[in-house]
Amino acid sequence: ASDVYKRQGVPGEENADFMMSLKKSKKIKFVLCRHEQAAAFMADVYGRLTGKAGVCLSTLGPGVTNLITGLADANMDYAPVVAIIGQGSTERLHKESHQIMDSISMVAPISKWAQTILSAKNVTEVVRKAFKVAETEKPGVTVIELPEDVAKEEVNENPIKPSLIRRPAADYRAVNEAIELIISADVFFLPTNVKSIKDTLGVGTLIAVPSNLPLRFGRTKLNAFAAPVEVGIKDSAAALALLKSL
């Protein structure tokens, strides 16, 4: 229901039932990774490039700690990712047991939402919420923890269909005011590609901003953005044409 075609990760004993169910799917392909961190980064890049949540999988304990670096990077760069992590049976979560740790508390600071599924009846609702929260502004990481005894239960409910998400937009009056300020300025700055501006404008002076200048934009939240560019505009009509094309 969430248009997931690939999931990557490193499975373990605690999510064996999940993997066996996934094997029956004709739509979703599982990509086996050599390390959970690689799976998280693959999901990070997929989410960053498509705007749809990338999905990664790990087992409990050390599987989750290996996943954390990639999840933290995705959340800081606002890439939508849904991580599904294994956990031991709910009957032994309260005691010291092999590889049992409080994974939800670990991932909470580096995610938008993290939740343990304690009943099979809640699977469809938790999954839908995880994808919705991950993909809505500002995008980021959500984590679903699936204990092994819950994963063994049968779920007869149909997946909840995703609803259309309306992305927030700036007030039109503020946008118009910004356009007027840019048009009336002799120089303005855009974090964009030099060649695309030159091709669009056909006029103006294009100068790359050195990294040591005080007016440099600094690090962008998405590392895929091009370096900031200083654009000297002499033709307001050309500037307006550029703004309308963005």
Distance CA 151, CA 126 (A): 14
Which runs of E-coded beta strand occur in 24-168? Answer: 29-32, 54-58, 81-87, 113-116, 141-147
Asked which of 60-64, 68-72, 113-117, 192-196 is least confident by mean pLDDT, the reply is 192-196
Spatial contact of 155 and 120, defined as CB atoms under 8 Å apart: yes
131-134 long-range contacts (CB < 8 A, ≥24 apart) are 131/2, 131/53, 131/82, 131/162, 132/162, 132/165, 134/47, 134/53, 134/80, 134/81, 134/82
CA Rg value for the chain: 23
Report residue 11's pLDDT band, with 50, 70 and 90 as the boundaries: confident
pLDDT at 193 over 70: no
Report residue 241's pLDDT band, with 50, 70 and 90 as the boundaries: low
Q: Determine the pLDDT at residue 237.
A: 58
Q: Determine the pLDDT at residue 220.
A: 40
Distance CA 195, CA 120 (A): 54
The model's pLDDT over 157-177, given as tens digits with 9 standing for 90+, comes to 888 888 776 666 778 888 888
Query: How is residue 34 written in tokens?
Result: 């050599």
Query: How is residue 52 written in tokens?
Result: 């749809």
At position 233, the amino acid (one-letter code) is I
Whether the predicted model's global pTM rises above the 0.75 cut: no
68 versus 161: which is more confidently predicted? 68
Q: Determine the pLDDT at residue 145.
A: 95
